[in-house]
Chain A
């Protein structure tokens, strides 16, 4: 008896939850035939667990809100490739006018995107690449270039010599590999030496642990180069606890307004290099495509340097 009551209660509660959700979800609302002046744009995000991707969605939303003829629908695949694939298929069957996708990985998502193109839906690919060239436009930044810029900045800052701790992002991920390769290219030829490197998997608590190990191992550290800002922040906390934060400079990547840029303003980090999300650019290109203009096949976004000198001017454009 008790159990059946609970069952009914639970079912009612979950029904209420679903109803509540569907009100906020424009894709569930019945689609009416609209005049061609409004466009429905689908955005498939691979994962909203990372602040950088939250920022990407926020930029897209902010840019789209300036154009009342764009109706955005966001979907989050929660880092699940097959979920993202079905999101793409749902957008195609819902008949969106344009699809923006930031894919989790290339191989399994290439074909679903190609099918969207076959259905006559233009596709803008953000950040990560797909295989082949069956998309309308790719917008992304160059991690190797950013890593190289970080390396060169550190060489200049330390006058060409010193000991560096490198806290890497996940080394099985392409951004981690590129930020590492670029950095090593950037410091090549100088007397900078990487005394300790470890994989902190993009996570701040891990970065702090690895930095503690580096501190107990290395009597002198001149610079910490972390593949993202939370990593550099974790390293700073470790060094501060050991009373050695003044001994070294801290450099991160990503420069999100609430993370890296704020850390530089506070004086925690010495520099951070922006890894742009391309959200605003995606909406610009989307409008061009929807208005029948020609869009470039590929856009490589520039990066910005935020350090003590440039932070108040909103960073410095990197060449």
Chain B
């Protein structure tokens, strides 16, 4: 996973413990959870449904953050994920709702679209030496435009306008209902069965698991760390820097596509305006976890902790009905606290 760093030559048990980035990421999460226990909104925080919802809401951001982790470890950044999410959400809705295509075609098609977007920004960065910030910024603007073009500027929903101007109602596709459902059902007092784990959360965990295996256990993952640590050294030791980078951005695009499919399913529509600003949340999650923006250090496990921190923070603010203005200030403050905890102090 992450590459532990030596804290100091004379190590006390605490400083050894504190030198592991995961410990510090955990501190931020525990802090947020304690906030939740204190401000529990008349016990709402202790209900299982609250946790299911918190995890479900964090899942889309978590999936984006998984891809972002790969790109950031490689020393880059991907600003296009929010737009790619919208593009894929629109394309997936067009294929599934309007086209009535089978999910076995629509899902691979949507994933391919995302991977191509990522691959293009990767190619522009790796092959032509354009800074990742600029290359992915261009993709962010382009993909947003493409999403608005193919959707005709409006939401692609189950209410479809026919040629004669009348509106007809299409069925919500089964795949949408499946992704938006939840498993591990229990019955409440009224006899209504509700699931306790959302399918999107499972999708997030599967994505996180796969990315973790690739980053921590596969030689390609080691190459990503090598490039992020020292690109020149990696090149000299025979790493194909360009190809590895392109794949890293393609992975990010692919995961943005997964997030886009989840977003479309949860909204029951493809909104070309979806995902605005999501890239910043994804970056915040990665950084709060403890992966450094400079590249070469960090890991997927940290991103998982970061996702939970941000996800629970949002939920706690929401169940307490904190006004929007205070929410923004509190979120800013907690991001700083979490990042300060990441900053290694000499102890």
Contacts and interface: CB of A to CB of B under 8 A. Distances in A.
A274 B111 CA distance: 39
Interface in B19-68: 41-42, 44, 47, 49-50, 53, 57
Interface in B142-164: 153-155, 157, 159, 161
A257 B167 contact: yes
B42 A217 contact: yes
A197 B47 contact: no
Contacts of B180: 237, 241
Contacts, number: 84
Nearest to A215: B49
B319 interface: yes
A7 B156 CA distance: 36
**Per DSSP, are chain A's interface residues mostly helix, strand or loop, or mixed?**
helix
B333 interface: no
Interface string B171-185: 000000000101000
Nearest to A210: B318
A48 B272 CA distance: 11
Interface string A1-40: 0110010000000000000000000000000000000000
Interface residues of A, number: 35
A208 B263 CA distance: 12
**Chain B interface, >50% SS class:** mixed
A165 to B, nearest CB: 10
B193 interface: yes
Contact of A213 (B128, B268, B319, B323): B319
B273 A49 contact: yes
Nearest to A48: B153
A240 to B, nearest CB: 10
A217 B167 CA distance: 37
Interface in A169-214: 171, 196-199, 201, 204-205, 208-210, 212-213
Nearest to A76: B153
B153 A258 contact: no
B319 A216 contact: yes
A196 B319 CA distance: 9
A262 B160 CA distance: 10
B321 A196 contact: yes
B189 to A, nearest CB: 11
Contact of A217 (B157, B161, B319): B319
Contact of A216 (B50, B57, B128): B50
A166 to B, nearest CB: 10
A60 to B, nearest CB: 15
Interface in B220-236: none
B324 A216 contact: no
A116 B315 CA distance: 49
5 contacts: A196-B321, A199-B323, A205-B267, A217-B44, A258-B159
Given A209-B314, A216-B47, 18 more contacts: A54-B154, A171-B323, A197-B321, A199-B324, A201-B324, A205-B263, A208-B266, A210-B318, A212-B57, A212-B318, A217-B42, A242-B49, A243-B188, A243-B193, A243-B194, A244-B192, A258-B154, A258-B161
